[in-house]
Amino acid sequence: MAVKRLGCLHAHHSNIRYLEEGLDRETFSCLHFVDPGAIHWLTRAAASEAEARQVQAKLRGQLEWIAGCGVDAIVITCTNYIAALSPLEQALEAAGGVPVIAIDEPWFDELLKLGDEAVVAFTNPATVEGTMERLHAHAKLRGRAFKAQTAVSGPGCFELLLQGREAAYAEQVEAFLLGMIQKSSAPVAAAQLSMTDAAARAEAASGARVLSPMQALRSRLEGLR
């Protein structure tokens, strides 16, 4: 069986590890592209439509570049970038026919399988609005009335990741997720790829399933074999 080559667009280098460790290397190889700059632009773009268009153009250019590298599919791991490119038709057009997988879409599908409600946990407040808008639109397209509560970790948690303090970040996120599991009768889901390790630990410690984007992505990529 030929190895499928994935072009992976990240906003932070820490996401590379999750793809490398989470996918079968005999089935997939990854070519990684990291562009943290657009995150800073997106922060400013909230107040400027012109800057938002610049970010979209930059990301479309990235997708064209990645598609030209001979990949079988493109995976976008940053939920901010996914929201900036929505509707994703423009991403598909930029990729020139190469399949584009927004990491949250397989996760949405798996989340809807858990029932009609969930607690969706975030560490980056900037991703909440865009992700939840896409989740509700995804559910509506499938004829589902999905009730989702959002929970955001305490101040300073996401900054630990940006500072390269990944162990401290994972520790705080695990405690945050365990707290949500104890408080809620609804399933708890981790919305960001950076929460993968903490979600696995919280799942092992509590015995409750904590759905993460990496779990769902593996299932979706099976279709590329």
* pLDDT per position as a tens digit, 182-198: 999 999 999 999 999 99
Q: Would you call the peptide bond into 87 cis, given omega within 30 degrees of 0 as the criterion?
A: yes
Tokens 């991403």 found at:
91
For the residues 72-78, what does the mean pLDDT come to?
91
Architecture of domain 105-212: 3-Layer(aba) Sandwich (3.40)
Could you tell me where in the chain the CATH 3.40.50.2300 domains are found?
A: 105-212
* Position 218, amino acid: R
Using 50, 70 and 90 to split pLDDT, how confident is the model at 54?
confident
What's the confidence (pLDDT) of residue 88? 66
Residue 16: per-residue pLDDT: 92
Burial class, 112, CB count within 10 angstroms (exposed 0-12 / middle 13-18 / buried 19+): middle
Instruction: With cut-offs at 50, 70 and 90, classify the pLDDT of residue 108.
Output: very high
> Mean pLDDT in the chain?
87
Contact 9, 73 (CB under 8 A): no
pLDDT at 45 over 60: no
The yes/no answer on whether domain 4-102 falls in CATH 3.30.420.10 is no
Contacts of 202 (CB under 8 A, 6+ apart): 174, 177, 178, 181, 188, 208, 210
Q: Taking the model in full, what pTM does it have?
A: 0.85
Q: Name which of 162, 83, 167, 86 is nearest 123 in CA terms.
A: 162
